[in-house]
Amino acid sequence: MTGLLRAELTKARSTPLLVWTVGLALLLPPLLAALLGGAMGSRESYCARNSCDNVLAPPDATVATIGVLGDGIPGGALTVLTAFAAALLLVELRYNTLSTAFLVTSRRTHVAVAKVVLLVAVAVPVVFVATMASGVVFDRVAGPAAARVSPFSAASFDVAARTTSVVVAFALMAFGIAALTRHIWVTAAVVVAWPNFLEPLLPMVLPGGDEVAAYLPFANARHFVGIEGGPVTWSPLVSGAYVALLAVVLLVAGVARLSRVDLPRSP
């Protein structure tokens, strides 16, 4: 397994894939935090000088921290790392380079596990650092809006840890979906379109939308991080367990399919 891990790391480093993934996952959340902080800071400064009729009551520090660090900001890292998870497998399937590595059934599972270990090893530190960095950036640029967000508080570390676990879970889901479908466009549609378009749309087009929404993965992921407002009625820990279980099921199903799939014939 150690040799397989070194091989997977070498393959990832031999292309721009790993560099681009780490770079974008570290850059996008602080960039979004800077844009959000600038907008919120400008609005609060304006309302301090003028009368704003629609100013809401200031949230407490914990709620403000969850809203800033746990909602839209990690979305950039989420998209990048789910795409990376799918690409780890799909790029090799596209060029049939897994044909020799997957020649023996037991080796197929070992190679898939090595890719998953690499994925988790990259995602955990990158997402945690990016989330904490987002808090620092927000604190610097948001002016009066940053007064209720402490980037190094216990609440910030808790949100960063929960956000990291959610992103890792969805990256594992993306890997499992890529293994199940083995099709780049199907996987891309799930990775990109599901969280941004399909899941928000689904409760509106299906009968009993609120009941359906309670079981949707991103709604439960947000609930686990601490963001309220959705139809989920479970406790946050149950929502987190539900997301983790879904990730494990998709991952195991994908690896099982890889272990049984027929290899392309040699020309």
The answer to whether the Cα torsion of 146, 150, 152, 154 is positive or negative is negative
Note the pLDDT of residue 264: 46
Residue 130 confidence (pLDDT) above 60: yes
Confidence class for position 209, pLDDT limits 50, 70, 90: low
Residue 125 confidence (pLDDT) above 80: yes
Confidence class for position 263, pLDDT limits 50, 70, 90: very low
Average pLDDT over the chain reads: 76
Q: Domain ranges in the chain?
A: 2-260
Which ranges constitute the DSSP H helices of the chain? 2-13, 17-49, 61-69, 75-94, 98-101, 105-141, 154-181, 184-188, 199-205, 209-213, 217-225, 236-260
224: Cα separation from own chain's centroid: 13
Exposed/middle/buried for residue 10 (C-beta within 10 Å: 0-12, 13-18, 19+): exposed
Residue 249 confidence (pLDDT) above 90: yes
Q: What is the mean pLDDT of residues 108-135?
A: 84
Residue 254 confidence (pLDDT) above 70: yes
Residue 144 confidence (pLDDT) above 90: no
Confidence class for position 248, pLDDT limits 50, 70, 90: very high
- d(CA 191, CA 167) in angstroms, rounded, equals 12
What pTM did the predictor assign? Answer: 0.80
The answer to whether the Cα torsion of 60, 64, 66, 69 is positive or negative is negative
Percent of all residues in the chain with a pLDDT value above 90, rounded to a whole number? 4
pLDDT tens across 152-196, in order? 888 888 888 888 888 889 888 888 888 888 777 777 777 777 776
pLDDT tens across 32-53, in order? 888 877 777 676 665 666 666 5
Residue 213 confidence (pLDDT) above 90: no
Note the pLDDT of residue 63: 60
Confidence class for position 98, pLDDT limits 50, 70, 90: low
